[in-house]
């Protein structure tokens, strides 16, 4: 048994769970009119309501004991102060310094990192303003109209999610496109309508040798040179974002046109760095800095607020409660906001790459469940797809709902319908509907049909948390994203895992390289298991050239 599951706090939680597992939230609400007041928190323009969770005062108290026992306070300080907490890769984890708008010194190996961060931010401002104003010209003297940002994982999902979420702030004269997949469909379809004269490529890759990104970048360069016919023109149309200047130069981009970031920024935490250049180009540098400001204020909240009032800590503890005690395997994130369409994809990488681990910091196999499966899509679309299972299926799926009180667009009737659904779903999930209540809505003949009655019962008691915010501004989005980052960090601390490496992505990459060589000719392959051999050989027969 691990020290976590035998710890005093864990044992107390297990005993408590055995007592309260069947408690009804419906009853808790009817007994306690102050439940919302007790179980909700406010931060700037954001309300976090966690009252529709299967918790009592005691649950929260015991969960707080657990984080205290895990020495969360000391671990938060270690992260913010640049300690090597990514021990397997021997790296500090300092994405919070990227958005340190207070500009207090942050030391890494005895050197303040803030001057470097501020220098790159200034370079991003100069560049993005020059492109957005039309001052930056392409090789034929025309203004840039399209940005193609090439990058995958953290170098793709974050900027794409933020640029889409903040599209109401975007420039109408500059369109930003994202390419990540090695499937040529992605690049070909993005490039099809574009003109090389007015297109600027951003190649974003921390290591600048990621297979998909480098292949896409090479094909983009070929597409560009086929049209521009002049290698000198690359300087006006290709910029790089990376920690590896040598790889950038080798690819053929002048390092003058490179925006750097640093080893201590994890890929999936990099949208706050120069990786956010496509965001700055889309919404302007002032708005990008407002995004940083929102995240910074959330960082200060995380660092300085007692755990019971600390939004990311409470989010993390609720996750632990369901993941480790109720044995819920997944967690759904459902923004009632079409522009947040990529949020669950982004959080999927952030959470699953961070906490999809099964050994502790000491290298021992865990004997408890770690990171959940993260998924979701915007409401109300999800209601007509997977909500059936959340309401009446056999799985417990805690959900996060979120909505803005004000839309950026002018159709109030739409917005009230949207918000009514955002409010109704958590209520329905919590209350459910009993057989007696079902019968009251049926004709006597229907009431006599037990199958019909049973099919219409909603058991209820399904947990959810809700974020209601004034408007989806850059600042609000920055805070929300930082809350999720810190939630994941806190859970990693409790599970005693390294949330900042991603060794699990390597094996498949290595095997793909071996197989790629075998695909270069039509020889029959027999070096793998019989399934892989058969599929490789069938592919060779099927392919047309
Ligand atoms: O393969 C996983 C990963 O390393 C992610 O962690 C990262 O976000 C992505 O690949 C892209 O990496 P890079 O920015 O170095 O191209």
* Beta strand residue intervals within 433-482, DSSP E: 464-471
**Best mutation site among 180, 502, 504, 511 for ligand 1, i.e. most ligand atoms within 8 A of its Cβ?**
502
pLDDT over threshold 80, residue 389: yes
pLDDT of residue 544: 86
pLDDT of residue 171: 81
Q: Is 509 a catalytic residue?
A: yes
Question: CA-CA distance, 348 to 225, in Å (whole number)?
Answer: 36
Q: What are 98-135's pLDDT values in tens digits?
A: 999 999 999 999 999 999 999 999 999 999 999 999 99
- Which of these, 256, 282, 92, 77, lies nearest to 177 by C-alpha position? 282
Dihedral-angle region of residue 275 (phi above 0 means left; psi in -120 to 50 means alpha; beta otherwise): alpha
**Best mutation site among 86, 152, 245 for ligand 1, i.e. most ligand atoms within 8 A of its Cβ?**
152
Q: From the CA of 375, how far away is ligand 1's center (Å)?
A: 20
CB atoms within 10 A of CB 463: 22
Across 393-399, average pLDDT: 98
Q: What are 78-87's pLDDT values in tens digits?
A: 999 999 999 9
Lookup result for tokens 């290595």: 510
pLDDT over threshold 80, residue 201: yes
Q: Is the pTM of this model over 0.85?
A: yes
Residue 152 CA: which ligand 1 atom is closest?
11
Question: CA-CA distance, 94 to 263, in Å (whole number)?
Answer: 9
pLDDT over threshold 80, residue 433: yes
Q: Residue 95: which H helix or E strand, with range?
A: helix 95-98
The two three-digit tokens of residue 355, written as one number? 């906490």
**Helical segments of 356-434, H only:** 387-392, 412-431
pLDDT of residue 229: 97
Q: Is 197 a catalytic residue?
A: no
pLDDT of residue 406: 97
pLDDT over threshold 90, residue 346: yes
Q: In the sheet that 238-242 helps form, which strands lie side by side, from edge to edge?
A: 175-179, 146-150, 199-204, 238-242, 258-260
User: Residue 365 has what DSSP assignment?
Assistant: B
Average pLDDT of the chain, as a whole number:
97
- Which of these, 208, 158, 165, 156, lies nearest to 187 by C-alpha position? 156
Task: Evaluate whether 285 touches 370 at the Cβ level (below 8 Å).
Answer: no
- Which of the following is catalytic: 197, 297, 353, 485? 353
Residue percentage of the chain with pLDDT more than 90: 99
pLDDT over threshold 90, residue 2: no
Give the pLDDT band of residue 497 (cuts 50, 70, 90). very high
Q: From the CA of 178, how far away is ligand 1's center (Å)?
A: 15
Question: CA-CA distance, 245 to 268, in Å (whole number)?
Answer: 20
The two three-digit tokens of residue 201, written as one number? 């490529």
Q: What are 132-186's pLDDT values in tens digits?
A: 999 999 999 999 999 999 999 999 999 999 999 999 999 889 999 999 999 999 9
Q: What are 220-260's pLDDT values in tens digits?
A: 999 999 999 999 999 999 999 999 999 999 999 999 999 99
The two three-digit tokens of residue 64, written as one number? 């707080």
pLDDT of residue 1: 82
Q: What residue owns the CA closest to ligand 1's atom 6?
A: 267
Residue percentage of the chain with pLDDT more than 70: 100
* Beta strand residue intervals within 384-517, DSSP E: 399-406, 464-471
Q: What residue owns the CA closest to ligand 1's atom 1?
A: 505
- Which of these, 233, 209, 211, 210, lies nearest to 221 by C-alpha position? 233
> Any residues with Cβ below 6 Å from ligand 1, and which?
152-155, 205-207, 210, 213, 267-268, 353, 502, 505
Across 308-327, average pLDDT: 98
Question: CA-CA distance, 271 to 266, in Å (whole number)?
Answer: 10
pLDDT of residue 16: 98
User: Residue 149 has what DSSP assignment?
Assistant: E
**How big is the chain by its Cα radius of gyration, in Å?**
25
CB atoms within 10 A of CB 374: 23
Question: CA-CA distance, 47 to 405, in Å (whole number)?
Answer: 11
- Which of these, 246, 245, 228, 248, lies nearest to 236 by C-alpha position? 228
């Amino acid at each position: 048994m691990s020290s976590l599951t035998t710890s005093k706090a864990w044992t107390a939680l297990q005993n408590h769970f055995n007592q309260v597992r069947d408690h009804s939230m419906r009853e808790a609400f009817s007994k306690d009119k102050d439940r919302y007041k007790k179980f909700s928190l406010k931060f700037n323009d954001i309300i976090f309501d966690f009252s529709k969770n299967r918790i009592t005062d005691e649950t929260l108290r015991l969960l707080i004991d657990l984080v205290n026992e895990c020495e969360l306070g000391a671990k938060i300080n270690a992260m913010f102060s640049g300690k090597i907490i990514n021990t397997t890769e021997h790296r500090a984890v300092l994405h919070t310094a990227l958005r340190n708008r207070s500009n207090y010194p942050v030391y890494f190996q005895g050197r303040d990192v803030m001057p470097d961060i501020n220098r790159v931010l200034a370079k991003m401002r100069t560049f993005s303003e020059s492109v957005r104003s039309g001052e930056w010209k392409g090789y034929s003297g025309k203004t840039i109209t399209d940005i193609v940002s090439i990058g995958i994982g953290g170098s793709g999902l974050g900027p794409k999610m933020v640029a889409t979420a903040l599209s109401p702030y975007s420039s109408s004269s500059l369109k930003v496109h994202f390419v990540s997949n090695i499937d040529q469909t992605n690049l070909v379809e993005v490039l099809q309508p574009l003109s090389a004269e007015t297109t600027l490529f951003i190649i974003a890759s921390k290591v600048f040798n990621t297979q998909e990104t480098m292949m896409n970048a090479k094909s983009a360069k070929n597409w560009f040179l086929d049209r521009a016919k002049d290698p000198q023109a690359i300087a006006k149309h290709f910029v790089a974002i990376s920690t590896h200047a040598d790889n950038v130069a080798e690819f053929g981009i002048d390092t003058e046109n490179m925006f750097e970031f640093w080893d201590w920024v994890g890929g999936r935490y990099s949208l706050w760095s120069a990786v956010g250049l496509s965001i700055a180009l889309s919404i302007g540098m002032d708005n990008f800095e407002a995004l940083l400001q929102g995240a910074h204020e959330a960082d200060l909240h995380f660092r300085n607020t007692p755990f019971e009032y600390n939004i990311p800590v409470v989010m993390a503890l609720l996750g632990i409660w369901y993941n480790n005690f109720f044995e819920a395997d997944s967690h759904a994130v459902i923004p009632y906001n079409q522009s947040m369409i990529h949020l669950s994809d982004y959080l999927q990488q952030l959470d699953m790459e961070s906490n999809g681990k099964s050994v502790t910091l000491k290298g021992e196999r865990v004997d408890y469940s770690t990171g959940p499966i993260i998924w979701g899509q915007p409401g109300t679309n999800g209601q007509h797809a997977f909500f059936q299972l959340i309401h009446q299926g056999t799985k417990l799926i805690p959900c996060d709902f979120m909505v803005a009180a004000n839309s950026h667009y002018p159709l109030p009737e739409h917005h009230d319908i949207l918000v009514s659904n955002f409010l109704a779903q958590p209520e329905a999930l919590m209350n459910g509907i009993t057989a007696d209540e079902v019968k009251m809505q049926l004709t006597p003949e229907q009431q006599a049909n037990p199958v019909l009655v049973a099919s219409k019962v909603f058991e209820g008691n399904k947990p959810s948390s809700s974020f209601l915010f004034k408007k989806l501004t850059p600042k609000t989005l920055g805070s929300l994203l930082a809350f999720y980052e810190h939630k994941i960090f806190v859970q990693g601390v409790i599970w005693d895992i390294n949330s900042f490496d991603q060794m699990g992505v390597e094996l498949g990459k290595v095997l793909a390289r071996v197989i790629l060589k075998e695909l270069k000719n039509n020889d029959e392959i027999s070096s793998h298991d019989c399934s892989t051999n058969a599929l490789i050989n069938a592919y060779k027969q099927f392919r047309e050239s």
